[in-house]
Amino acid sequence: MRIDIVTIFPTFFDALDISLLGKAKSAGLLELGVHDLRDFAHDRHRSVDDTPYGGGAGMVMKPEPWGEALDALIPERSADRADGSGPLVIFPSPAGEVFTQASARAFAAESHLVFGCGRYEGIDQRVFDDAAERSRVKLVSMGDYVLNGGEVAVLAMIEAIGRLIPGVVGNPESLVEESHEDGLLEYPSYTKPAEWRGRPVPPVLLSGNHGAIAAWRREQQLERTRRVRPDLLG
């Protein structure tokens, strides 16, 4: 998979050089391009923002640098390609659809993602409208709270997507038994010692009875989901 990121803070993405995703990059499973939006701003101060039309607080990101950056990353007329092989362009935004494990799975099936990180009060609306004429465009939110910009949201999305790329996580079974993969929260985990600070590991886990262990884990998942996230049970 190829991922391109446009940002005014490229160093945020140095974090992608470490851990599993760093290894995925070295192994060639993930190709990453980080692009500084200011490289596409041509005035003396390389400015990327301006005051909002209609008034109001804060600044809005100017369309020209974004247009040039996306022109460089979206192959011409990719929306017209019969095989849909153009990139999926994702802008993190509190005004977008909420990112879930299902979104991570859908995005992980793409061959090319382009992330555009907004800052300030957002990006001039015409940037989205223009890009949508040439490619698939989505606004995606990390949840009902406000971040200072899209960078942290993109890091979170790339971590969730990257671990679903075949070969990135060593043991693919560990992807199955996790929170949200089956619509429930995950069960509690224990390791050695069998007793710690007077707290024993639940005896069923030491029983060697795989059927009983599976049933106990399922019950724990249901109990936890009912208590913490009843909305997931519908």
Told to check if 135 binds ligand ADE by CB under 6 A, we report no
Q: Which amino acid is at 43?
A: D
Q: Does 147 appear as a known binding residue?
A: yes
Q: How far apart are CA 75 and CA 222, in angstroms?
A: 46
Q: Which amino acid is at 234?
A: G
CB of 10 vs ligand ADE, minimal distance in Å = 18
Give the CB-nearest residue to ligand ADE: 92
Range 224-227 contact pairs with CB under 8 angstroms and sequence separation of 24 or more: 224/184, 224/185, 224/187, 224/188, 225/184, 225/185
For residues 127 and 133, the answer to whether their CB atoms sit within 8 Å is no
User: Which of residues 143 and 172 has its CB atom nearest to ligand ADE in the complex?
Assistant: 143
Q: Does 120 appear as a known binding residue?
A: no
Interface pick for ligand ADE out of 65, 86, 92, 162 (rule CB under 6 A): 92
DSSP 188: P
Helix (H, G, I), strand (E, B) or coil at 4: strand
User: Which of residues 88 and 168 has its CB atom nearest to ligand ADE in the complex?
Assistant: 88
Told to check if 89 binds ligand ADE by CB under 6 A, we report no
State which of positions 139-168 bind ligand ADE (CB under 6 A): 141-143, 145-147, 150, 153
Annotated binding site for S-adenosyl-L-methionine: 118, 142-147
Which spans of this chain sit near ligand ADE (rule: CB under 6 A)?
92-94, 141-143, 145-147, 150, 153
